[in-house]
Amino acid sequence: MTDLELWRRGWCLATALLVPLMVLLSPRWLQLDATGPAWSVLWLLPWALVDGPWSGALVGAGLALLLDALHPGAVSQVPALVLLGWWWGRLGRRSVVMERSLSLGLLALAGSLVLGVSVLAQLALTGAWPASALQVLWAQTLLTALLAPLVCSLWLLIWRQQLPGVR
């Protein structure tokens, strides 16, 4: 791998910083029932599909640590995102079919559901169960799945242009 490729790869990885920024920004016009999409899922899904299970799990952990810093309390997104990064990385290694719009949508739906359930389980353990939990979970899952074909394929396109060597 040449220096230029490493440099470009670093830039591609740095786009992960957009995720916490989007979480903080959370534009009103991209909300369903006052809930935004799971931006971490929308970024991690294409990254793991392209870059494999090890990279997916590692970057997922880093991203989750960044996101955890945005919230008070002990609830963590690390386990869910590591698991999802690993799983998607394995799927991406197996076939290219996963990068079709419908597959991206379904994978994002499952990922958002896993992430929401893991957060909810931790909230339930700490005794702070939100009253509208299932409604929020459902709204976030639907919104993420609807945005996934758009956003994920855009990321895939950009990364492929920057790194011709990538699968």
Partner 1 sequence: MQAGRGFRLAPRRLLLTGWPWLAVGLVLLAIRLSKGAGFSDLYAVLTRPLWPGSAQSEWLRSAQRLDQQSRLVQLEADNKRLRQMLDLREQGGRLVSAPVIARPASLWWHQLLLARGAMAGLASGDVVLAPGGLVGRIASVTPTTALVELLTDPASKVGVWVPRTGEHGLLVGTGTARPVLRFLDRDTRARAGDLVTTSPASTLLPPNVTVGVVQRLDPQGTPAPEARVQLSAPIEALDWVQVRSMAHEATP
Burial class (CB in 10 A: 0-12, 13-18, 19+), 147: buried
CA dist 116 and 49 (Å) reads 21
Give me the least distance between CB of 31 and partner 1, in Å please. 5
Closer CB to partner 1, 103 or 141, in the complex: 141
Q: Does 136 bind partner 1 (CB under 8 A)?
A: yes
User: Hunting for tokens 């492929």 — which residue is that?
Assistant: 160
Q: Does 29 bind partner 1 (CB under 8 A)?
A: no
- What would the two tokens of residue 100 be? 């079709």
Number of residues that bind partner 1 (CB under 8 A): 26
* Piece in contact with partner 1 (CB under 8 A), picked from 4-12, 49-57, 70-78, 82-90: 70-78
Spatial neighbors of 135 by CB under 8 A, at least 6 apart, are: 33
Q: Which residues bind partner 1 (CB under 8 A)?
A: 23-26, 28, 31, 34-36, 70-73, 75, 119-120, 123, 126, 128-133, 136, 140
